[in-house]
A = this chain, B = another copy of it.
Amino acid sequence: MTFKIETLRSFCAVARAGNLSDAARRLGRTQSAISMTLKQFEHTLGGALFETERKNRLTKLGEQVLLLAESQIAQFDKTVQAMETLASAPRGVLRIAAVPSVAAFAFPPVVRHLTTQHPGVKIELRDADTQQVFDALLQGWADIGITSAKRNLNGVTATALFREPFGLVLSETHALATRAGPITIHDVFAARFLRNGLCDQIDNPEVLDRLSDVDVNMRNTQSLLAMLLEGDWVTLLPCSAARLVGTGLTFRRISDLPAHRQVFLYQRTEPSSARIVGDAIDVIRALNWPGYD
């Protein structure tokens, strides 16, 4: 007999709960059902998954299998959801995944255009990190992807979308915001600097070196911007990211930092809802992207 997703689910539930009864309750089954399922799983696998009989400690094998199982379940659920989305849209679906900084700028006009030009078409948008965007493209969860990394993916074509400089983002009231004369890398790191995920992409030895000394690293863009608005913190971002909030922030080029980021547009090559995808691509390309350099 072959493995079943439901078996993996049972195993994960027990591993997470630390005992059978709670897991069984969560799954809406009886203890005994879960017990039998697990026993059979261990049997077909040919090794014990738990140390004790009370299921509160995993064996080495159990830990490794748990990682695999959880990842597999997540994958499966995403696939199922993608299928249901496709099925629930008789007129077709357009699924776009983009990194947040671009998503904020690109999604509104795309939505506006599609809802008027293709009424009835279902639109699904998500912002995610670069890796997740690539995953979504590769797994068929998205038709269009936008990231700032170039990568060759099977069945996906990549084209350059725009290029923009990195620079200093800070509150309008910050001293550096209004200071006359050019701003240098030295100035940047002399200020109270916040590190963020995007600035790790900067391809400049001096910056990379100094970044490793920075203590405050923020992953979430929302709170990053909140910090900047607060007062005297600064950070490095590509210029379009500065548009994320309406007012209060400003962007300044760094005179001795030529670093840019190149943003790419990805498109699955063999999607069937071809016309809508092509149309959306056109809209995206026609947007008023930063024209620097």
Q: Using CB atoms and an 8 Å cutoff, list the residues of chain A in contact with chain B.
A: 2-6, 45-47, 60-61, 63-65, 67-69, 71-72, 75-76, 79-80, 82-84, 86-88, 90, 92, 131, 138-141, 151-154, 200, 270-273
A71 touches B131 (CB 8 A): no
Tell me which residues across on chain B come within 8 A of A65, comparing CB atoms.
83, 86-87
The residue that A61 contacts in the complex, of B45, B61, B86, B151, with Cβ under 8 A, is B86
Copy tally for this chain in the complex stands at 2
Residues from chain B with Cβ under 8 Å of A79 in the complex: 68-69, 71-72
A91 to B210 alpha-carbon distance, docked (Å): 44
A76 touches B72 (CB 8 A): yes
* Contact between A87 and B72, CB atoms less than 8 A apart: no
Tell me the nearest residue of chain B to A271, going by C-beta: B64
* Additional A-B contacts beyond A64-B140, A65-B87 (15; CB < 8 A): A2-B5, A5-B76, A46-B87, A47-B87, A60-B273, A61-B86, A64-B271, A68-B141, A69-B83, A71-B79, A71-B139, A72-B79, A75-B75, A131-B152, A131-B153
Check A272–B60 contact: CB distance below 8 A. yes
Contact of A6 among B2, B131, B152 (CB under 8 A): B2
B67 and A3: CB pair below 8 A?
A: no
- Which residues of the other chain, B, contact A63 by a CB distance below 8 angstroms? 272
Partner of A45, one of B6, B47, B87, B152: B87
A147 to B270, CA, bound (A): 28
CB–CB A64/B272 < 8 A: yes
**B61 with A82: CB separation less than 8 A:** no
A92 touches B272 (CB 8 A): no
Of the candidates B6, B131, B151, B200, the one whose C-beta lies within 8 Å of that of A154 is: B131
Contact residue among B4, B82, B131, B151 (Cβ-Cβ distance under 8 Å from A68): B82
Rounded to whole angstroms, the CA-CA distance of A67 and B69 in the bound complex is 22
Question: In chain B, what residue has the closest Cβ to A200?
Answer: B152
Nearest CB of B to A106, in Å: 23
Q: Which residue of B lies closest to A88 (CB)?
A: B46
Q: List 30 A-B contacts (CB under 8 A).
A: A2-B5, A2-B6, A2-B80, A3-B83, A4-B5, A4-B6, A5-B76, A45-B83, A45-B87, A46-B84, A47-B86, A60-B273, A61-B86, A63-B272, A64-B140, A64-B272, A65-B83, A67-B140, A68-B79, A68-B82, A68-B83, A68-B86, A68-B139, A71-B79, A71-B140, A72-B76, A72-B139, A75-B75, A76-B76, A131-B138
